[in-house]
Structure 1
Amino acid sequence: MSPTVLLTGGSGFIAGWVLKFLLQKEYTVITTVRDQTKADFLKSLYPADSKLSFVIVPDIAAPKAFDEAIKLPGIDYIIHTASPFHFKVTDPVKDLLDPAMKGTLSVLTATKAYAPQVKQVVITSSFAAIIDASRGNRPGYLYSEKDVNPVTWEEAIGDNPATTYRASKTFAENSAWDFLKKERPNFTVTTINPPLVWGPMLHKVSAETINTSNASIWALINGSCKDVIPNARVPLWVDVRNVALAHVLAIEKPAAQNQRYFVSAGNFSNAKICDYLLKQFPELKGKVPTKLETPELTSDEIFGSDNSKSIKELGLEYISLEQSVYDLTKQLLEWL
């Protein structure tokens, strides 16, 4: 009998690929979704798969949000991906901080209380929980799993949405490690910490509903940049398929227990992406910007990433920037 995985937020950008890889590997999967429409969509992707079932969790920040899902018998592993990623913040606590922190603690608390058989909980964290934005470009520095964002609560509830988002991921991850130390549950914890994630999607989107990270590529091909290449918010990236596979490998590799993994494919620049776009899709000439907003920083002038742990312990083989850009752009041109 195949192991059973509870996957939270199964219709999300990353979680959709996690679900695909789990089913390909013949795991039994119970996934939470916010409403029946999302469940019906996922059913349409895997109509003949009897190993997939659903639990509706309309509000991941609600008290005991995941209790009923976790009480289901036979769950061996939990992969928790459900957390907001956007910068449209009117109330920092309600829009980002609470959903991230309460959602994570809800999963861990319920797992200890109702599912003593669960072996491991894998949590989608972020480079946001690693980077120290106050240090700026940090030329030559390589961020790794050893780094922890030192953001404070006072900074988190300020008027900078990017700081609030980074804080939400940091506090959520910190709460998981604190829970592990204080509560000493039967299960282990693993976090997956990607930087900017893009790549092909499993759910069709519109220009209005495209996820935040892929929207940055869409902006480079739809003519909205008016010939000026914008600066990238963060110079590190990874393909969504690598991130999703890391979650699955984390439950298969004993070395991953109680570990963080900085899943990064390396540095990028929007100028390099634009070069790829014009070579791969010559029909986009006139839409893809060609003029730099500001002089481009070289790799010696800004921080990088050390992904050696994810390669050594998880066995990840990273998709190239050129391939990822091609796969996503081809899809966007077909859909939008």
Structure 2
Amino acid sequence: MFCSSMVRTEAKGKAIVDTIDVPLRHLVSYVLVDDVACEGSFDDALQTNTFDYVIHTASPYQLHVTDPVRDFLDPAVRGTRGLLQSVHKYAPSVRRVVLTSSSAAMINPHGHAAVYNESCWRPMTWADAQLPQNAYEASKVFSERAAWALVNGTDDLDSAGETALLPASHTRATLFDLSVINCTYTFGPVQRWLTSLDSINTSNHRIRDLALGRWLKSDAGSGGMPPTRPVFTWVDVRDVAVAHVQAILVPEAGGRRFYVVGGHFSNGRLAAVARASNSETLAKRIPPVEDTPDDMPRDVYQFDNSRSRDMLGIKRYRCLEESVMDTVDSILDLEKCFI
């Protein structure tokens, strides 16, 4: 078995390889892909070895959007489509591509479903996508639609979806099939090779800020715990990793989406978990109970993750307490590196 990572910088590639246990390090390499939105950017990488599977895990993300198309939509949509086209042209040995999408491609904050599952798609027009506040969600909707459209051989992005739902007589347009992981806010231990506390993944920002005392109110009354909205579901990164591996290994996973979600959370519940740890360090940093109310709506939307449990074999998702405290511990360890 051999694994090659496509990364944007030499430093990121080296950092990934260095995290692998030394006896296994010779099985891992990396290839630089400077700009995923450029046509043919994956061509060379896919010709370096013979691959059986490809996992596409990321597209650029940034907090401050100045141009939705340039900053989000082009890298996500062109990057996803470009990778699949390169696989089709230059990697005929690839049997399956696993795409990391998001619950952002499913959840409609303007009219929640009572229960979300893999059949749900967030309504999104290209005009909606031009609004900066919709840029991230739009990038997930359109990049996933583009992936299904390419594999299914259709130009109709609006209706493109799971191959498994098409008639049995339908023939894929590619040699490989597609499996999609729609994960929600992703908590879990942070990587030790991060260069700063600011480089922690966005989902973990709230746990980072909690653990570092940034939710404490100032003497002037400013600051405090931010509201949880609009997302109230979470999953642990280790369960997400298992889902990706199982999506490769399970034959029936081809042509399907998987809603990978572990449970509900609120910022108040995160604070309660950290407070219950009895950590001396955290005791000075966690706001008092009266400053961390549970703001989860009584009618919060529900989720159905039975497909991921039944088909991918994730019988038990990690609980919030385990995930939060493992995340906090990793952040406090990382903090020591920068003191």
Give TM class, smaller chain.
0.7 to 0.9
Tell me the TM-score normalised to structure 2 length.
0.85
Say yes or no: does 1:170 pair with 2:141.
Answer: yes
Q: How does 1:157-236 map to 2 (within 5 A)?
A: 157-160=130-133, 163-182=134-153, 184-205=173-194, 206-227=196-217, 228-233=224-229, 234-236=231-233
Give the whole-Å Cα distance in 2 for the aligned partners of 1:282 and 1:186.
Answer: 53
Partner-residue secondary structure (3-state), 1:164? helix
Residue 44 of structure 1, CA deviation: 1.9
Over 3 Å counting, the alpha-carbon distance change for 1:186 and 1:216 in structure 2 is same
Q: Is the 8 A contact 1:266 1:304 kept in 2?
A: no
Q: Whole-Å Cα distance in 2 between the matches of residues 324 and 293 of structure 1?
A: 19
Q: Is 1:42 equivalent to 2:40 in the alignment?
A: no
Task: Label 1:295 to 1:327 Cα distance change in 2 as closer, same or farther (>3 A).
Answer: closer
SS of 2:122 mapped into structure 1: coil
Distance 2:46 2:73 in 1: 23
Indicate the residue corresponding to 2:119 in structure 1: 146
Aligned partner of 2:41 in structure 1 is 65
Higher alpha-carbon deviation: 267-276 or 36-45: 36-45
Is 1:335 the equivalent of 2:308? no
Q: Which residue does 2:303 correspond to in 1? A: 305
Q: Deviations over 1:172-202 (max 9, x none)?
A: 0000111112171111000000010011123
Distance 1:200 1:155 in 2: 35
User: 5+ residue gaps in structure 2?
Assistant: 154-171, 218-223
Q: Secondary structure at the match of 1:54?
A: strand
Distance 1:180 1:200 in 2: 34
Instruction: Give the letter aligned to residue 206 of structure 2.
Output: S
- Deviation track 1:224-251 (CA, whole Å, cap 9, x = no partner) reads 2234332213100000111111111101
Are 2:90 and 1:114 equivalent residues in the alignment? yes
Paired residues, number: 304
Write the letter of the residue equivalent to 2:190: M
Q: Which amino acid in structure 2 is aligned with residue 181 of structure 1?
A: N
State the 1:302 CA deviation. Answer: 1.0
Ranked by relative contact order (alpha carbons within 8 Å, sequence separation 6 or more), the top structure is: 1
Alignment partner of 1:86: what SS?
A: coil
Task: Encode CA deviations 1:110-151: one digit per residue, 9 max, x unaligned.
Answer: 111111221000000000011112215x5xx11111101111
SS of aligned partner of 1:328: helix
Alpha-carbon distance between aligned partners in 1 of 2:318 and 2:5, rounded to the nearest angstrom: 27
Report % sequence identity: 37
The equivalent position to 2:265 in structure 1, one of 258, 264, 268, is 268
**Gaps (5+ residues) in structure 1?**
1-26
Match of 1:246 in 2: 243
Partner of 1:21: none
